[in-house]
Amino acid sequence: MTELDPKQLEIIKKEQCSDPLIRKICNTMILRSEMGIIKYKNTMEDAVDKKTVIEFLDEAIEEGIDLVIYLEAAKLKIRKLIDEYRNGKTVNGSQK
Residue 10, domain extent = 1-50
* Element of type H or E holding 49: none
Integer Cα distance of 11 and 31 in angstroms:
9
38-66 pLDDT, tens digit each: 999 999 999 999 999 999 999 999 999 99
Task: Determine the pLDDT at residue 13.
Answer: 86
55 in the same domain as 32: no
Q: What percent of the chain has pLDDT over 90?
A: 75
Q: Taking 80 as the threshold, does the pLDDT of residue 76 lie above it?
A: yes
Q: To the nearest whole number, what is the mean pLDDT of the chain?
A: 88
* Confidence (pTM): 0.67
- How far is it between the farthest Cα atoms of the chain? 59
Number of domains, the chain: 2
20 in the same domain as 2: yes
- The amino acid at residue 6 is P
96 in the same domain as 60: yes
